[in-house]
């Protein structure tokens, strides 16, 4: 159940976001400066950050996710101990539902090394998240119609616990359910909006999922390639739009034109150059989150800027689709090979029809493919990968079905 206060907060966040999406880059920057000033009292109450409160953003230390995960007690502004927070998140994962006007904690799928991250949110922050998401992902006209939103995501996601009523119905379909069960549940619910990870959308499309009711399709949790988008759009009748979300927060989303914009209206994202590549890793500050402040947190996704302006009107910076992580770059004598280069080389041959994983090492690489992938095709893909990555490639027909929750197609073997 959603309280009236919570509904009002969601509408306010939605409206604020829609207004921000029409602002100029300079106006967005002024908005970020004001939000940074308003954030300082919460930072003063957060043990890990209190000594820096009141200073400019650049004066704060850059933190790696592993440091934040070591002690959640140091990283909240509510005086809660690490053990108490972990117990709260475990209870939510076990199915315990927090009261609608209470603080909630949950485990996210995590980004670094597959480790899960604890996510803390007050009712105000959950409303902010839902309002922002609706504004960023859907045209205003979509809210005039009744919507049925199916969230096919990891269980226990506290952010979505504010299930709507009235015009918007939510259904959470856990990823742990089998494909057959999931298809039956989804077809019975008949969603107009579906959010799911790409690996699962591919499997559902392959298994014959049919949703004539579907109007908007979103994917998140892991990268999606161009070939996969084409295949999913053809099978499900809707082009998937990517949402870039991590434990660090809601970082970006594709607009109606299909370009991925950073959430520059509520985040201060600094771009740290990745040596020997044209790309960056993000250093993220969330200007809205107070219960669990996120200030200069270094993310692990490898991203490249897209300098072409976007006609959609939102001034948030545009980045190219994310295809992998900085820790999965392949260094080599002839230069560093990036995940987008590897995905492009392999999928030029395999398309999205065969699952694959490329594992790089210093002097060689392995291309793992599904057992039923034709040998000649796999060999052809291995040759393309060898040329792109400048190292010999061995092929193995041993890649099992993706079990989730995080698929990794490009891997660097840290010896």
Q: Of 96-104, 140-148, 244-252, 259-267, which segment contacts Zn ion by CB under 5 A?
A: 259-267
Instruction: Please say which residue, 81 or 257, places its beta carbon nearer to Zn ion.
Output: 257
Return the residue of 2, 183, 246, 255 that touches Zn ion, per CB under 5 A. Answer: 255
Q: How far is the CB of 231 from Zn ion (least distance, A)?
A: 23
Q: How far is the CB of 260 from Zn ion (least distance, A)?
A: 8
Q: How far is the CB of 139 from Zn ion (least distance, A)?
A: 13
Q: How many CA atoms lie within 13 A of 51 on its CB side?
A: 3
Q: How many residues bind Zn ion (CB under 5 A)?
A: 5
- Packing angle of the helix pair 226-236, 198-206 (nearest 10 deg): 40
Q: How far apart are CA 105 and CA 157, in angstroms?
A: 8
Query: What's CA 265's distance to the chain center, in Å?
Result: 17
Instruction: Please say which residue, 63 or 133, places its beta carbon nearer to Zn ion.
Output: 133
Q: How far is the CB of 40 from Zn ion (least distance, A)?
A: 32
Q: Of 6-14, 193-201, 252-260, 293-301, which segment contacts Zn ion by CB under 5 A?
A: 252-260
259 makes contact with Zn ion (CB under 5 A): yes
Angle of CA points 316, 225, 271, to nearest 5° = 35
Q: How far apart are CA 412 and CA 121, in angstroms?
A: 34
Q: Of 156-164, 226-234, 255-263, 403-411, which segment contacts Zn ion by CB under 5 A?
A: 255-263
Phi, psi of 175 (to 5 degrees): -65, -20
Q: How far apart are CA 103 and CA 84, in angstroms?
A: 12
Q: How far is the CB of 259 from Zn ion (least distance, A)?
A: 4
Instruction: Please say which residue, 211 or 251, places its beta carbon nearer to Zn ion.
Output: 251
Q: How far apart are CA 356 and CA 218, in angstroms?
A: 22
Site for Zn ion in 289-318 (CB under 5 A): 310, 312
Of 176, 194, 193, 77, nearest in space to 142 by CA: 193
Q: How far apart are CA 283 and CA 298, in angstroms?
A: 4
Instruction: Please say which residue, 191 or 220, places its beta carbon nearer to Zn ion.
Output: 220
Q: Which residues bind Zn ion (CB under 5 A)?
A: 255, 257, 259, 310, 312
């Amino acid at each position: 159940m959603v309280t009236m206060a919570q509904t009002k907060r969601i509408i306010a966040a939605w409206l604020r976001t829609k207004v921000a999406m029409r602002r100029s880059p300079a106006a967005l920057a002024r908005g970020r400066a004001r939000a940074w000033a308003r954030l300082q009292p919460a930072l003063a109450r957060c043990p890990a950050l209190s000594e820096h409160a009141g200073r400019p953003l650049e004066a704060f230390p850059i933190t790696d996710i592993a440091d934040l995960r070591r002690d959640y007690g140091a990283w909240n502004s509510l005086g809660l101990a690490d053990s108490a927070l972990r117990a709260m998140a475990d209870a939510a994962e076990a199915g315990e539902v927090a009261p609608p006007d209470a603080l909630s904690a949950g485990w996210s799928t995590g980004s670094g090394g597959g480790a899960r991250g604890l996510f803390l949110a007050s009712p105000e922050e959950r409303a902010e998240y839902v309002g922002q998401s609706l504004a960023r992902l859907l045209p205003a006209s979509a809210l005039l119609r009744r919507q049925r939103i199916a969230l096919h995501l990891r269980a226990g996601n506290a952010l979505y616990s504010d299930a709507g009523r009235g015009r918007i119905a939510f259904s959470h379909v856990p990823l742990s359910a089998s494909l057959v069960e999931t298809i039956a549940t989804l077809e019975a619910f008949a969603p107009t909006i579906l959010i799911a990870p790409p690996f699962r959308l591919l499997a559902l499309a392959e298994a014959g999922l049919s949703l004539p009711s579907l109007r908007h399709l979103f994917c998140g949790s892991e990268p999606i390639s161009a070939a996969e988008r084409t295949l999913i759009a053809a099978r499900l009748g809707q082009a998937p739009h990517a949402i870039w979300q991590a434990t660090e927060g809601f970082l970006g989303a594709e607009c109606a034109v299909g370009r991925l914009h950073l959430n520059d209206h509520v985040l201060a994202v600094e771009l740290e150059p990745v040596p020997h590549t044209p790309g960056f890793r993000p250093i993220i500050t969330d200007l809205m989150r107070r219960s669990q402040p996120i200030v200069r947190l270094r993310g692990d996704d490898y991203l490249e800027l897209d300098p072409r302006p976007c006609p959609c009107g939102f001034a948030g910076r545009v980045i190219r689709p994310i295809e992998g992580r900085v820790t999965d770059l392949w260094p080599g004598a002839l230069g560093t090979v990036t995940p987008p280069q590897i995905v492009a080389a392999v999928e030029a041959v395999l398309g999205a029809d065969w699952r694959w994983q490329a594992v790089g090492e210093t002097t060689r690489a392995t291309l793992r493919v599904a057992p039923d992938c034709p040998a000649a095709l796999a060999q052809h893909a291995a040759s393309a990968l060898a040329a792109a990555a400048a190292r010999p490639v061995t092929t193995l027909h041993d890649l099992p079905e993706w079990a989730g929750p995080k698929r990794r197609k490009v891997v660097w073997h840290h010896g």
